[in-house]
Structure 1
C-alpha cells in the first residue's frame, strides 16, 4: 500500500510540472504587442497596428444540398465590433464581442429569398449576459501569447489566444498562429485554418513572427593556471569532418508554412484539465483497491476502529468473511501453528454458512411446530 500511494504522488508531481508552460499576458493588442518568449523577442506591433481601427472579414462558402452555407468571421483587434444596423439584434453577436462567427443558409432554387441566419457565435471579447431576474454573467478576453511548435521545427509559431466567448454553454476561443515567413509582403492578413471543440484557429504569415534572439552576456575570459601550459589544439583531418548540412539556413517551402501541430500540444488549459482528471482519479483508484483487496494490516485497523466506535453490528457479507477466514488460516499454517478440534473427526470439506438459516418469519404456518 505505501508503494502505491508513493507512485500516485510521483505521478501528480510530474503532471504539475508539465503545467508550467511559458506564456505572456497581453493587456492591450494595440499597445502591448512587444514581448519576450523563451530566448527570443517578438514585435507584432507592425502586424497588428494596420488593423487597430479596421475590421477583418473572412468569408467562406460550402455546398450543403439543397442549400449553400455561408460562414463569416468578423474580427476587430482594436476593440469591440461595431453594430450592424442592417441586421436584427438577435442576428449578430452581443455587445463587446471582438471575434464573431455568423453562419447563414441560402436556397439556390429560391434566389429571391434572402439568406437566413442559422448561428451567431461570439468567440472572443468582454461579454456581459443578463437573463431572468437579477441573473448575469460576465466574461473577459484575457489575451495571452505563447509558442506553438511547427512541424518543420525551424521557427515556432507565435500564438495569440483570445478568450471570453460562449455558445450554448460551451466556451469559445480564437487562436492566431503567426508563422515566420521572411518573404511575406506586409501587411498580411489572417486566414481560417481549423475548428475543433469550440476553438477557432487562424494562421497569419509574417516576417515579424521570426523573432530576434536575445544577446547572452559575455563571460569573462579565463586564463589557464600558471602551473599548466595551454594545450596545442589538434587539427582534425579534412576527411574526418562531417559533411555540411545541405538544408541549413533554408526556409520551408511557400505552401508549407501553414502546416503545424494541431492545437492542444502546447495548450496549458488542456494540460490543467488533464492534471485535474488524474488528480481526481488517483484517490478513487486507491480507495477502490483498498475496498476490494485490502491488505491484512488494513483489515485489522478497520476492525479495531469499528469495535471502538461501536460499529461491530455492521457485518461484512458471508462471502467476504469466508475469504478472510481462509486467508487467516493460510497465514497461521505458514507460521507453523496447527488448529485442531478435540474429538474431531474427518468430514468432507464444506463451507458452513455464517448466517442463521432458515430465518424466522412473521407469518405463522399452520400445521407446523413453530
Structure 2
C-alpha cells in the first residue's frame, strides 16, 4: 500500500511540474509564444545581436591564468574556424559552445593551451559522439523547451526558462538553461551572463524587459441581450454561436498549479500519517483508545482483529530499564499488601481432600 502511495505522490508532482513547460520547434520562428496564460516576445532579444554572443571571463589559477569563453548563437549554428584544428573547437552544428583555455604569464612565448571544448547545445553528428566501442546515448537533434519557475529573489515575477538541448560531452548529455529575468530598468539590448555549470547543465542569466509577463487577453462572455445583427448574405452561411463563445482553455494561472501541488502534497502526507497510526499505533494512543472504549460500551461491538491483539500483547511485554509489570508484581507498596483476590473452596474433591486457592 505504501509504495503505491509514494508512486502516486511522485506522479502528481511530476505532472504538475510538467504542466508549466512546453516544447517549441524553433526559437527564431516562435520567438513570440505563450506559457500558460502568460505571453512573451523574445524577438527583440534574439535578433539583438546578428553574430551571436561571445562571453569571456578570466580567473587566476597559479601558475596559470584560465580563460573561459562562451559562444552563443540562437539564430543559427556557430561558424567553424578553418584556421583552428577541429579537435580544439566545437563540432559543426553547435549552437552553444564553451572553451576553456589557459596560459602561463611567465612564458609569453608559449601558445595558450586548450583544456576543454564542450558543445553545450546543438545538432551534432552521431558518428562524432561514440567512443571506440560504439557506445554513446546521444540522439541528434536540437530542440527548445520554455517554461516558468518561481523566482527566489522577486516574488512578483517568475523566471522564464529557455532550455536548449542537443549537447554532448564526454559521453554525457549537455544542455543550456537560459533564465530570462524580468528587469523593467534594463537598457536594451542586454547580454546573457554565465551563472554556473553542474551535471551537464550550464545556466545563464539574462535580465531583460522582455521577460516581464503579460496576461493573455480573453474574450468576455456574451451579454444577456445579444447585439442585433442583420441577416446573413445569401451566399454566406449563418454564423455559428459556438465560435463566438470561445474561452481560453488554459485560463488557469500558474498560481493555481502551485496551490494544486501544495494541496496534493499536504493531503498525501496526512493520509500517510493516518495510515501509519492505524497500523502502528503508539502505546499511549492504544491506552487512551482502550479507556475510551470502556467508558462507551456501545463501541465494544466493534472488535479488533486477533493479529492486532497478539501484536499489541507482544509489544506490551517489552519493558524499558527500571520498568516493571504492575499487573504481576503490583505497583509501589501494593506488593506488601495481602492478595486481594478472594479465595473459596473448590467444589471438586480429589482423593477426599479439598483444594483451596482456586478463584
Cα offsets for 1:252-276 (capped at 9, x unmatched): xxxxxxxxxxxxxx9xxxxxxxxxx
Of 166, 181, 191 in structure 2, the residue corresponding to residue 189 of structure 1 is 191
Does structure 2 retain, via aligned residues, the 8 Å contact 1:126–1:138? Answer: no
Match of 2:276 in 1: none
Match of 1:62 in 2: 59
Match of 1:355 in 2: none
Number of aligned residues: 226
* Structure-2 change in CA distance of 1:39 and 1:87 (3 Å): same
Match of 2:44 in 1: 46
Match of 1:155 in 2: 157
Alpha-carbon deviation of 1:7?
3.1
Does 2:93 match 1:91?
Answer: no
Alpha-carbon deviation of 1:120?
0.5
Does structure 2 retain, via aligned residues, the 8 Å contact 1:43–1:211? Answer: no
Cα offsets for 1:115-140 (capped at 9, x unmatched): 00011100000111315698885422
Match of 2:107 in 1: 110
Question: Please, which runs of 5 or more residues in structure 2 have no aligned partner?
Answer: 226-257, 259-306, 315-359
Cα offsets for 1:257-305 (capped at 9, x unmatched): xxxxxxxxx9xxxxxxxxxxxxxxxxxxxxxxxxxxxxxxxxxxxxxxx
TM-score (norm 2): 0.57
Match of 1:210 in 2: 212
SS at match of 1:50: coil
CA distance in 2, matches of 1:129, 1:29: 23
Does structure 2 retain, via aligned residues, the 8 Å contact 1:54–1:76? Answer: yes
Alpha-carbon deviation of 1:162?
0.4
Does structure 1 retain, via aligned residues, the 8 Å contact 2:190–2:207? Answer: yes
* Structure-2 change in CA distance of 1:133 and 1:111 (3 Å): same
Match of 2:34 in 1: 36
Bigger Cα displacement from structure 2, 171-180 vs 12-21? 12-21
Alpha-carbon deviation of 1:218?
2.9
Question: Please, which runs of 5 or more residues in structure 1 have no aligned partner?
Answer: 224-265, 267-326, 335-370
Alpha-carbon deviation of 1:174?
0.6
Match of 1:165 in 2: 167
Match of 1:14 in 2: 12
Does 2:74 match 1:77?
Answer: yes
Does 2:138 match 1:142?
Answer: no
Alpha-carbon deviation of 1:5?
5.7
Alpha-carbon deviation of 1:81?
0.7
CA distance in 1, matches of 2:11, 2:96: 37
CA distance in 1, matches of 2:21, 2:202: 19
CA distance in 2, matches of 1:46, 1:206: 10
SS at match of 2:9: helix
CA distance in 1, matches of 2:173, 2:24: 20
Matches within 5 A, 1:239-250: none
Does structure 2 retain, via aligned residues, the 8 Å contact 1:24–1:35? Answer: no
Structural RMSD (CA): 2.9
CA distance in 2, matches of 1:205, 1:8: 39
Q: Which has the larger radius of gyration?
A: 2
Match of 1:176 in 2: 178
CA distance in 1, matches of 2:66, 2:192: 21
CA distance in 1, matches of 2:97, 2:172: 15
SS at match of 1:14: helix
Alpha-carbon deviation of 1:168?
0.9
